[in-house]
Amino acid sequence: METEYDINDKTILVTGGTGSFGKKFIRTILDEYKPKKLIVFSRDELKQFEMQQEYNEKSFPALRFFLGDIRDRERLYRALEGVDVIVHAAALKQVVAAEYNPFEVVKTNIIGTQNIIDVAMDCGVERVLGLSTDKAANPINLYGATKLCSDKLFIAANAYVGRKNTRFSVVRYGNVVGSRGSVIPFFLEKRKEGKIPITDQRMTRFWITLEQGVHFVLQGIQKMIGGELFVPKIPSMNIMDLAQAIAPDCKHEIVGIRPGEKVHELMISRDDARNTLEFDDYYVIQPVQDWWDGEKSSTLKGGRLCPDDFEYRSDTNDRWLSTEKLKELILQVENGS
């Protein structure tokens, strides 16, 4: 019988460790676990410097900071020496910027991901969990397409690890409340001008808090056997409800959908439904490759196979954020929590 993976006394590295997710993940690990080492890997020296001021070496002896770029394969060999667990959160994520700088996004999100895979195998890393996005399901923009490719690379990596003990899985979730460049900080800024720009009044999105995202990633690390794509059950929100919650007295200006945007988001397509297991709080999309032996895993016991016509879409979701709940989340963003 398999037991859940224990991350205590492990050396954990987070790519993109100075981003919104990375910072919350680092704080959660330090608060709730006892890692042997916890390595922040990112390319931004200023953000690393700022984090080092928050976490002094004496109080947090397990914490390390490692400057580097996932595009740089040789640097990854130095960074991953002795690492047990990788959480791969580094990516170029801005949808519009990706449309105008496509190969820069390819180099980070695809080539950088393959570098992580290859070096993790060579260095004997035990578990590697990649962060995906709802935009990777039936993508219509370049960012989503690169993340779908990244997901496929992660899943396929399990087929050629050989006798190595490295396992690769993926977590996919929706928009993160209050993250850099997200809609709440944008609307809060626009509220000062008395006018809220709305792309499309029908628009819906999946939403998850940073805390929920971090704990779902930790759950994935503990449960994964290699090859799963984990999708949490999270609520949807409507853009007009959000505008009402943030700025009830402001006028609305319909500006139209930006390049690469969808009206509604999708996390599990009908094509994936036949391979998807449903649990109480999450789904697992199983790989279709012949090497998959997920049925042998105790962690997948009790999962219910989804019907063939199932889709997990933000507009047909059965969980929704009320205006009152949206106001609570907005208040958290304003208070920086």
Q: How far apart are CA 337 and CA 331, in angstroms?
A: 9
| Structural contact between residues 150 and 142, judged by C-beta atoms closer than 8 angstroms | no
Quote the distance between the C-alpha of residue 155 and its chain's center: 15
Nearest to 314 by CA among 242, 248, 252, 249: 242
Residues facing 229 on adjacent strands: 170, 285
Q: How far apart are CA 302 and CA 305, in angstroms?
A: 10
SS3 4: coil
The vertex-146 CA angle with 143 and 152, nearest 5°, equals 140
SS3 232: strand
Sign of CA dihedral 190, 196, 200, 201: positive
Q: How far apart are CA 326 and CA 337, in angstroms?
A: 15
Identified catalytic residue from 24, 93, 135, 223: 135
* β pairing state of 63-67 and 37-42: parallel
Written as one string, the DSSP assignment of 268-293 is E-HHHHTTEEE-SSEEEEPP-STT--
In single-letter form, the type of residue at position 142 comes to L
**Does residue 135 carry a catalytic annotation?**
yes
Written as one string, the DSSP assignment of 111-171 is IHHHHHHHHHHHHT-SEEEEE--GGGSS--SHHHHHHHHHHHHHHHHGGG-TT---EEEEE
Catalytic amino acids?
135
